[in-house]
Structures are given as C-alpha cells and as structure tokens.
A and B are shown apart, each in its own frame.
Chain A
Amino acid sequence: MKNFAEPLLGQRANPKPLLFRGARLVDPSAGTETPGDLLVSGGKIAASGSSVTTPADAEIIDCNGAVLAPGLIDMQAHAGEPGLEHLETLASASMAAAAGGVTTIACMPCTNPPIDDPALVDFLLRRARDTAIVNVVPIAAATRGLAGSEMTEIGLLKEAGAVAVSSGREAISNAGLMRRLLTYARDFGVMVINAVEDKELAGGGVMNESEAATRLGLAGIPVAAETVMLDRDLRLAALTGGRYHAGQISAAESAEAVRAARKRGVSVTCGVAIAHLTLNEYDIGAYRTFLKMHPPLRSEDDRQALVAALADGTIDVIVSNHDPQDVDTKRQPFAEASDGAIGLETLLPAALRLYHSGDITLPALLAAMSSRPAKLLGLPGGTLETGNPADLVLFDPDAPWIVEAGSLSSKSKNTPYEDARMQGRILRTIVAGRTVYEYAPA
C-alpha cells in the first residue's frame, strides 16, 4: 500500500514535530554513517545524534535500524508540463518521486512549449506549488525553442527561478554558440548542461554500435558520437571558464575524457543515468523498446567503467532521466519506437544494487543523488545538518520486492525494470517536515 499526502495548494504546512528513533543516519554531505535519532521541527532538521530530547507533542517513528538520509535530488527528469500532460503531470511525477524517496526534481525544459521564457519558469513553479507534493525546480532551455541557434535570457531565467540551463534532448551542435553560451552564463553563475551526442555521427542509430546491434540488425550509435561532442565541450569549458555539465555520459571513454580534462585543470562536472549504471545493451534482449533510450545502453565493460567512475568521483551525479512515454509510441518496431524510460520511483532501489554489489559505500552513493546535485544547482538539502530543510528519506536497504509496472505511480509505465528484483524499499519520504509518502505493508 502506498499512502501519499495531498498537495498543499499553496498553503504552508505546519506539521507536528517528528522524531526518528533508532535510525541508521547516513549523511552524504559529511560522508558519515552513524546510528542515532533525528528530530524534525518547524519543517527543519532540529537535532540529531544519540541523545535527542523529544518534545511532548512529537510523533515518534521507530526506524528499527532503517536508513535515514537526505531526500534525493534528481537533476534530470521530464515531468510533462506544459503540453505533455498525457504522459505525465507535475502531480503524477511528484508522486512517483515521493514513492522513490526523491524530494526535489529538476525538470527538463523539453516541454511544449519548451521552458525558454521567464514567464514559463514562473508558470512551472506556480503549477508545482499547487499540484506537486515534492520540491520542483525548473531547468530552463539554453536556446530559444531548444532550437540550438539563439541563446535564451539566461539572467532573467535565473531570476525567475531556473537552476540551470540545458540544451534539452539534443546537443548544441554549433560550437560557436556553445562557446558564447558558456561565456555569457559564466557571469551569471549559471551552469550550462549539454546532451553530449553528435547527431550526425549517431546517424540513424537506435542502440549501441556493437555485436548485439549487428545480430539484431539494428543501426548502431558509436561511442565516438558521445566522445566527439564531449571532447569539444571540454575544450570549450577550458577556453571559457564557464560552468559546464555533461548531462549524462554512457561510456568508459567518456569517463576517461572527463578524468583527463580534470587532470588538465578544467573544472567540469558530469552525470550518469541510473539505467546506464545498472543495465547494458544485452538487456534489450528481443527488441524490448522500454530499454531504448538516448544515449543508448552500452556494453557491460562500459557499465562497469561508469560504476568505477562514480566510485572514484569522476562522475558527480546520478540522474533518473525519468522520461515518460506512452504505450502507443513504445509498442512499435524497435527502430520506430520512442526513446526514454521512467526512473523516478526506481532510482534509489536500482542504485542500491551498486551498494549491495560492494562497488560503492552508501554515503558515496547517496552523495551522487543528494549533496552533490544540491551543490551543483545551488539548492539547500543533501545534508542532515541541523537547521536544514527536513527533506528526508527513510528506507530499508535490504527489503526485497519485485517491480510491477502497473503499480508504479508515474502516469506512463515505460519502466526498463519491469519484473526486476530490487533490494531496498522506501518506507517514508518527508518534504519540509511533512510526510508525503508512506509505505504500508498490505
């Protein structure tokens, strides 16, 4: 059973204080993991440790050793509004997020119309305030209409509340424009996110270029389609000193390129989608279109290199790249099917696979989904320190369950983890001290 809170409709929540008792407190901002209690009061973290005094009116939650951590911040999700409400709404996306322990979603601007104007940023924030049960922050389009030719009003977009600007689903192919964007945005402190794929080189490809594609008779996308664009961007970041972020990388060579650029002293950041850390090209099997995405799922060697790059800090953040698509566009021959997979609700359970496999520690894993995106986007959160907003997730890292697409909260059901076994269940999600999601055993 899933229990969700109602949207606040612009009202301020004034919930009772909450005391989490007997939790395993994981604070990714400090890299610590300690048993203890945590008190939430007035929507903020009021105290934590081994001897927290309980206010008389506090609701006490017995954690039985479950993990209590900062709520996740997802830097890349498509939430459907405006214009694509048949796929997802801010309300449904926020329920999927809440059920997945995600307390802040950064919405991609690839909507209809695209979020390329301060008024649209304002619209999105108001819509979210009235309908969403988690925090929503907009990422604005870096170019008008996401057409890749004219830059948007980056300063005004930031003032309206945009946390970054993005090229959308496709890369900004004009290197001159990319240079000017990075240069101009630098003076506003705005991060420019690019989708790193050279469209011409990707050609008509629909999956990773490899033996698997050859056997399936599908056109491949070479890794070079990604590295060519990434290498260009890394040079432009060095040239301009701008805040550059590669939205998602998918291959070992890309991680290596980022590593090498940092060694040269270039300050850049990059993300990876949860699918690329947990799945590979062979999961496509017999043309499973729910695993068709951009960038494509790569080889197992690439996947393992990405996991290593996450563990060594080369990759900064894990994103859901939540991308709702309806059945009509997915149940098509592979090459004709739409790209994208949902991922908000399964983000944390899927990521826990890396923890269970011993590839990464829990604080480091959670940092990539909370404290680091908070820092990149300039948001509060990602920490258990006293005085911060009480955006929290309580989860049992060991509880087993099986993903049933039909019971996911997203409006679209295109999950690449259909029928997959997961280990780790979200028990409760708190946004500003208010319980927005609670799991109740049936």
Chain B
Amino acid sequence: MTSPAADFAPFPKTHLLGISDLSPLDIENLLDRANAWADRNALPDNKHAILRGRTHINLFFEASTRTQSSFEIAGKRLGADVMNMSVASSSVKKGETLLDTAVTLNAMRPDLLVVRHHGSGAVELLARKVANCAVINAGDGSHEHPTQALLDALTIRRHKGRIQGLRVAICGDISHSRVARSNILSLTALGAEVHVIGPATLMPPSIERMGVKVFRSIDEGLEGCDVVMMLRLQRERMAGAYVPSSREFFHYYGLDAKRLARAKPDALVMHPGPMNRGVEIDSAVADGEHSVIRDQVEMGVAVRMAVLEALAENLDHAKDNRKPGE
C-alpha cells in the first residue's frame, strides 16, 4: 500500500518541536499530507506498511488520554511498532533526570519519539540529546503543541476551504496554554486574523506582539468571527488565584448560544478537549450544530500520521529500510 501522500514535498526538519520553526509553506505541506490521510482514513483497510520496522515510542511525562491514543493509532495505522512509556510510574519519578531518560531511550534505538512534558522547552532539550531519531513535541509546558495547531488548521480548512482572511477567536486561559501559542503562530502564519479573549490575569504580557488583537470582552471579541476556539481552564486556576470562581468565569467568558450569535452564522466552534462543560462552554453549544469538536479528534489522527510519515522520510537510514514499491 503506497501512501496517499507519497508525492508531497519533503519536510525540511529533523524534528517537529514547534510551529515557530516552520514556514507557512511547511505548514501548508503538512496540511496537504494530512488532508490526503484524512480522506484515506475514511476508506476501509487502514493498515499501511510505511513505518514497518520502525519503533515509535510515546513518552508522556504528563498524563494524556486523547493525544497519546491519537499518536498511538496514527503510528499503528502506518505499521510502526508503537510503545507507550508510562513515565508517571517509572524511574523519572525516582529522580532520574530527563537527560538520563534520553540516554536510556537512545539505547533502545527508537525512530520516532513523541514527547509530552510539563516543562516549557523540555522536548527541545531532549531532542538535542537523542541520536538518529525524530522527536515530535506533543506539548511542552505552556510553550507549544504543534500537532494540535495543525489538526485545528486542517479542521478549519476542510470546513471553510481556506484559512487566509478568516477571523478566529481564541478564548480563555491564554497565559498557560500551549494550544493557544501554537495556534496563534500557525493561524497568523497562514493569514488569519486572530482575536484572543480572556481576563487580564490569564493573558500573557505583550501577547499582541504575536500579531493578535486582545479583547477583554467576549462579546466584542467574537464579533464577526468565522471560528471560535475555546480553551480548557485548569481547575486549580479557577479557585481564586487567577479568577475568583468557575461561576464568575463562565458568567463573563463562557460560550453559550447567545454569545455565539455574535460570531458569523456559519461559525465553527472548537475545543482541544477535555471540556469543562459549564465552565468555559455550555453543553448546548459543545454538542450543537456549530461544533466541530468531534472532527478535531478525527483530524488529529490524520495530522499525526502525516507528521510521523514526513519525519520518517528524513531519518538517516530511511532508504535502506524501505523496499522499492512499498
């Protein structure tokens, strides 16, 4: 089985650490690949041999069900041997440093390493210490979550046909959100107008320097938007430290049908999940006709297949490992 994406331009990076490393063209190329996979995934027989013989390790220092299983399915569909390293219960908790972990992993000779870590920059640190292995950032601290931004962009593109010229609102805890940062980078690179909405305590300083417009009022920020992205508000941040209560947060920043009416009639509603219903989003909206939250999950698998495939093509021993015609 050949890849539906076989004819796309080679990806010019060894690792996928963040959207900030990518040009608009790099992003578009990955989206084109992912789009082909999304179409192919809708057909029966989803087992491919593109990553046969490749070892793909998911190394998650932070618990994640959604992202980890998405990467796992993507790797398995492409034929890789996928292993999940459960770090929460492993030696890292016993004082092993991140770099010790890198040394251990090197010895296992993985080809593809998917990493999530609570520290901003941790994935990049790890990437500098592994050999002959492509590293994919599955979320580092409050820094970046590039595959999330790619799957969001693909979801938008498949519904709207384009990203250029669209108005996209990102609402909630911008300060602590890697999803917000990666999306701001990718959407502005692709020519969208980005609004960020949230209370000042959850807005990082100088965020406007990233090319976005900042709104304190959700009603103003949603005006004329084509896409509304809601972010998850972590439970520990809604009890007085950053906002007084989840009730007050929902009152001023929660998305309900009335507020959504400020956006365009055909606006898309998105959420990276998992949702806090009644805190940042009303159930009627989350499950309503504007919602493409389920599509985001589906696009997640396609995007991760595209990323795994694109990076695997760049591995040193790529040619030896791949039989002609396969």
Contact = CB atoms under 8 A, between A and B. Distances in A.
B193 interface: no
B142 interface: yes
Contact of A215 (B118, B140, B210): B210
Interface string A315-341: 000000000000010011111100000
Contacts of B65: none
B98 interface: yes
Interface in B73-126: 97-99, 117-122, 124-125
A335 B205 contact: no
A22 interface: no
Nearest to B241: A203
B99 A216 contact: no
A333 B99 contact: no
B271 interface: no
Interface string B122-145: 101100000000000000111110
Contact of B143 (A217, A331, A336): A217
Most-contacted residue by chain A among B118, B124, B142, B178 (CB, 10 A): B142
B204 A335 contact: no
Most-contacted residue by chain A among B141, B204, B210 (CB, 10 A): B204
A183 interface: no
B205 A209 contact: yes
Interface string A84-95: 000000000000
Contact of B206 (A210, A331, A332): A210
A335 B141 contact: yes
B209 interface: yes
Contacts of B315: none
A215 B20 contact: yes
Contacts of B119: 332-336
A331 B97 contact: yes
A211 B209 contact: yes
A20 B233 CA distance: 69
B167 interface: no
B21 to A, nearest CB: 10
Contacts of B210: 211, 214-215
B32 to A, nearest CB: 27
Q: Is the interface of B mostly helix, strand, loop or mixed?
A: mixed
Contacts of A209: 205
A211 B212 CA distance: 13
Nearest to A211: B206
A213 B206 CA distance: 9
A209 B125 CA distance: 22
Interface residues of A, number: 20
B304 interface: no
A286 interface: yes
B181 interface: yes
A217 B124 contact: no
B166 interface: no
Given A217-B140, A218-B120, A333 B125 contact: yes
B95 to A, nearest CB: 10
Given A287-B125, A335-B119, A217 B142 contact: yes
B141 A214 contact: no
B213 to A, nearest CB: 15
Contacts of A333: 98, 117-122, 125, 140-141
Interface residues of B, number: 25
B207 interface: yes
A433 interface: no
Most-contacted residue by chain B among A210, A215, A335 (CB, 10 A): A215
Contacts of B206: 210-211, 214
Interface in A331-356: 331-336
A412 B118 CA distance: 28
A109 interface: no
A115 B95 CA distance: 30
B184 to A, nearest CB: 10
Contacts of B99: 331
Contacts of B205: 209-211, 213-214, 220
B208 to A, nearest CB: 9
Contacts of A215: 20, 181, 210
A214 B122 contact: no
Interface string A267-295: 00000000000000000001100000000
B195 to A, nearest CB: 17
Most-contacted residue by chain A among B121, B178, B204 (CB, 10 A): B121
A379 B168 CA distance: 64
Given A211-B209, A333-B98, A335-B120, A217 B125 contact: no
A214 B207 CA distance: 7
Contacts of B120: 216-218, 287, 333-335
Nearest to A214: B204
Nearest to A327: B99
Nearest to A335: B119
A316 B119 CA distance: 38
A213 B207 CA distance: 10
Contacts of B142: 217-219
Contacts of A210: 205-206
B232 to A, nearest CB: 16
Interface in A46-100: none
Contacts of B181: 215, 217
Nearest to B117: A333
Contacts of A219: 142
Contacts of A286: 121, 124
Contacts of B118: 333
Contacts of A328: 97
A339 to B, nearest CB: 15
A216 B210 CA distance: 12
A211 B205 CA distance: 6
Given A286-B124, A333-B125, 10 more contacts: A211-B205, A215-B181, A216-B120, A216-B143, A217-B143, A219-B142, A286-B121, A287-B120, A333-B119, A333-B141
Interface of B: 20, 97-99, 117-122, 124-125, 140-144, 178, 181, 204-207, 209-210
28 contacts: A211-B205, A211-B209, A214-B204, A214-B205, A214-B207, A214-B210, A216-B121, A217-B121, A217-B140, A217-B141, A217-B178, A217-B181, A218-B143, A220-B204, A286-B124, A287-B120, A287-B121, A328-B97, A331-B99, A331-B125, A332-B125, A333-B98, A333-B117, A333-B125, A333-B140, A334-B119, A334-B120, A335-B119
Lowest 3 A-B CB distances belong to which pairs?
A: A333-B119, A217-B143, A287-B121
